[in-house]
A and B are shown apart, each in its own frame.
Chain A
Amino acid sequence: MTKNISAPYIHTDKTALAKGGEWLVALAPVLVWSIFAFGARVITLCLIAALLSIALDYTVKRFVFKAKPFARIDIMAAVYGILSVFSMPVTAPLWIPIISAVLVVIAKNIRVFRAKRLFNPFVFSAAVLNLCFPAKMTAFTRPFAYFSPFSFSIDERLIDGYRVISPLQYMADGSVYEDGVLAQLYGYASGNLGEIAVAATALSLIWLCIRREADWKGTLAMLVPVLLLALVFPSDDAESNYYAFSVILSGAIVFLSVFAVNESHTVPVTKLGKIIFGAACGVLIFVTRKIGNGYEWGYFVVLLMNIASPFIEKFTKPRVLGVKKEK
Chain B
Amino acid sequence: MILDFPGGVRPLSRTKLGKSNIEYISACSAVCIKADEGAKTVAAIGSRVLRGSLIGESGGTPVYASVAGVFRGIMELEDNRYFVVMNSGEDGEEAVYSPESRAITELNCADICESARRLSVVETRSGAPLWKMLENANGKFRRLVIDCTETDASGAINYRLCIEQAKALVGGAKLLLQATGALKCVFAAEHYRNAALESILKYANDEKLFAIAQLDEKYPYGDRAIMEALYLTTLDKNETAFDRGIFIVSPETAVALYNSMAQGMPMLDRYITVCGDEIAQGKNLCVPRGITLHDISVICGGIKKGGRLIENSLLSGKLASGALSDCTRTLIAAKKQTKARTECISCGKCADACPIRLMPLNVLAGDIDDLRDNCIYCGACEFICPSGIPLLKLIKKRCNAEAEQ
Contacts and interface: CB of A to CB of B under 8 A. Distances in A.
Q: Tell me what chain A mostly uses at the interface: helix, strand, loop, or mixed.
A: loop
Interface residues of B, number: 59
Contacts of A114: 362, 364-365, 367
B165 interface: no
A12 interface: yes
A9 B386 contact: no
Interface in A60-77: 67-68, 70-71, 76
Interface in A195-254: 213
Interface stretch (A44-52, A169-177, A287-295, A314-322): A314-322
Nearest to B390: A6
Contact of B237 (A14, A317, A322): A322
Contacts, number: 133
B232 interface: no
Interface stretch (B29-37, B51-59, B335-343): B335-343
Nearest to A266: B346
B345 A7 contact: no
Q: Tell me what chain B mostly uses at the interface: helix, strand, loop, or mixed.
A: loop
A320 B362 CA distance: 14
Contacts of B370: 320
A60 to B, nearest CB: 12
Q: Which of B228, B340, B396 has the most CB of A within 10 A?
A: B340
Contact of A319 (B346, B357, B361): B357
Given A5-B319, A7-B392, A317-B359, A265 B339 contact: no
A8 B228 CA distance: 24
Given A8-B382, A12-B386, A320-B374, A116 B346 contact: yes
Given A18-B386, A269-B351, A322-B356, A11 B318 contact: no
Contacts of B346: 116, 264-265, 269
B79 to A, nearest CB: 14
Interface in B322-378: 332, 334-337, 339-348, 351, 355-359, 361-362, 364-365, 367, 370, 373-374
Interface residues of A, number: 38
Given A12-B12, A264-B348, A2 B374 contact: no
B393 interface: yes
B186 to A, nearest CB: 21
Given A317-B359, A319-B357, A320-B374, A10 B314 contact: yes
B163 to A, nearest CB: 27
A67 B339 CA distance: 16
Contacts of A270: 348, 351, 359
A63 to B, nearest CB: 16
A14 B383 contact: no
A9 B335 contact: yes
B392 A321 contact: no
Nearest to A71: B342
A15 interface: yes
A13 interface: yes
A17 interface: yes
Contacts of B361: 269
A80 to B, nearest CB: 13
Interface in A131-152: none
B355 A321 contact: yes
A322 B314 contact: no
Contacts of B351: 269-270, 318
Contacts of A17: 342
A19 interface: yes
B392 A8 contact: yes
B347 A320 contact: no
Contacts of B342: 15-17, 70-71
B358 A320 contact: yes
Interface string A287-327: 00000000000000000000000000000011111111000
A321 B386 contact: no
A30 B367 CA distance: 39
Nearest to A314: B367
Interface in A253-298: 264-265, 269-270
Contacts of A16: 342-343, 345, 386-388
9 shortest A-B CB distances, which residue pairs? Answer: A114-B365, A8-B379, A269-B348, A321-B356, A318-B357, A16-B387, A9-B314, A71-B342, A14-B386
13 contacts: A5-B319, A7-B313, A9-B336, A10-B12, A67-B343, A76-B345, A115-B344, A269-B359, A317-B359, A319-B357, A320-B358, A322-B374, A323-B373
